Amino acid sequence: MRILGFMSGTSLDGVDAAILSSDGEAIDDFGPTHLTSFSTAERAIVKDATEQFVATGTAEPRLLAEADDIIVSAHVRCARELLSKPGAGKIELIGYHGQTVLHRPDRGLTIQIGDPARIANTLGVDVVADVRQADMAVGGEGAPLVPIYHAALARKIGKSGPIAFLNVGGVANFTFIGSDEQIIALDTGPGNGMLDLTVQKRGLGRYDDGGALAASGEVNQAVLSHLLAHPYFEREGPKSLDRYDFPLDIVDDLSAADAAATLVAFTANSVALGARQLPEQPELWIICGGGRHNPVIMEALREVLGACESADDFGLRGDFIEAEAIGFIAARSVRGLPVTFPNTTGAPSPTTAGKLYKAQTATVA
């Protein structure tokens, strides 16, 4: 099956899209990828809506409608740009995540905006969406979703356990694959999210480009210790986070460079705390997501974890693995195969994810 997978992450970079061929078990081949960035105005509107959801559990109706329309329009634009590329082929199914504006697993609540029915009807292709809700309905955390795809990638590149895939996005999460092929996953803590927000708050850009800011600062050990004392780190996995779960104002009194250095150390050390729960330590960590582009983050991870390599070193598309995963999950969903498991989300049993939105128009893809 030829699938287009979408991911719009909490970093608000834009919409990632990737094409792959898969039956939801094996990965046959990879098609082209594409990123459609949000404009500054679009990003500001979606950010405002997200912050309203975090603060109050909802958003003002007019703002919500505007943000929803931005998400749908960006995905449609991204799909059309991607499908014009050589090698795209004929798309049979779309996997769609939407834009998370609130994730509160303690309340059984996860909210994504961006109407999937509009995407199905505009593009004329069936869409699998609502990929977290079924897991949360049975008591799971609704995250991480990607572990079953990480396991398929490990088979694709010929790697056996004990290894781990670590995604460093807005939130960081890992998938551990043991020597007995057992899969364990959890959100470890912040990925790039707190660092990005700090850089933005100080008017220094959207992110710490090349890790230059963090490289010029020093870790404030008192602030780091306070951050690592958060109750989240005392919980056993499976467990998941929202990007806004940690207080950002704790670094307000630090210089920009020291704040960046401290937040990088927080990301790395929180991953190490999560790894302590594993039955055996990975011999290799394969790093995915935007964080792998930051050499200071990569060095900090190597200091606490050991062998860390970029996903790209194994021929993978490190910026698009989550988009690929949503497509893979869509293929599993239509076949009724499980996506989440007791050791990945805490669901009581393997659970199939996703709702199918049938296209009401002739295909244009």
Which domains, from first to last, does the chain contain? 1-139+351-355 (3.30.420.40), 145-312 (3.30.420.40)
16 appears as a binding residue in the annotation: yes
14 appears as a binding residue in the annotation: yes
- At 198-249, the pLDDT tens digits run 999 999 998 999 999 999 999 999 999 999 999 999 999 999 887 788 989 9
Q: What is the pLDDT at residue 107?
A: 87
224-233, Cβ contacts within 8 angstroms, sequence gap of 24 or more: 224/262, 224/265, 224/266, 224/269, 226/250, 227/262, 227/266, 228/266, 228/269, 228/270, 228/273, 232/189, 233/189, 233/270, 233/273
11 appears as a binding residue in the annotation: yes
15 appears as a binding residue in the annotation: yes
| CA dist., res. 132 & res. 126, Å (int) | 18
Cα-Cα-Cα-Cα torsion 231, 233, 234, 239, nearest 10 degrees, comes to 100
* Alpha helices for the chain (secondary structure H): 40-56, 61-83, 116-123, 133-137, 147-156, 193-201, 212-215, 221-228, 256-275, 295-305, 321-334
| CA dist., res. 180 & res. 3, Å (int) | 30
Q: What is the pLDDT at residue 244?
A: 81
76 appears as a binding residue in the annotation: no
CA distances from 83 to 23, 32, 73, 305 (A): 20, 9, 15, 39
Q: What is the pLDDT at residue 106?
A: 84
Which residue type sits at 285?
W
- Mean pLDDT per 10-residue interval, the chain, length 365 residues: 93 92 97 96 95 92 96 97 95 96 89 96 96 93 93 96 94 95 94 93 94 98 97 92 86 97 98 96 96 97 97 96 97 97 95 94 54
Cis peptide before 238 (omega within 30 of 0): yes
10 appears as a binding residue in the annotation: yes
Q: What is the pLDDT at residue 83?
A: 96
312 appears as a binding residue in the annotation: no
Phi, psi of 215 (to 5 degrees): -65, -25
In the three-class reduction of DSSP (H, G, I as helix; E, B as strand; rest coil), residue 359 is classed as coil
- At 86-136, the pLDDT tens digits run 999 999 999 999 999 998 888 888 999 999 999 999 999 999 999 999 999
Q: What is the pLDDT at residue 362?
A: 54
Number of residues that make up the chain: 365
109 appears as a binding residue in the annotation: no
Residues 336 and 350 sit within 8 Å (Cβ to Cβ):
no
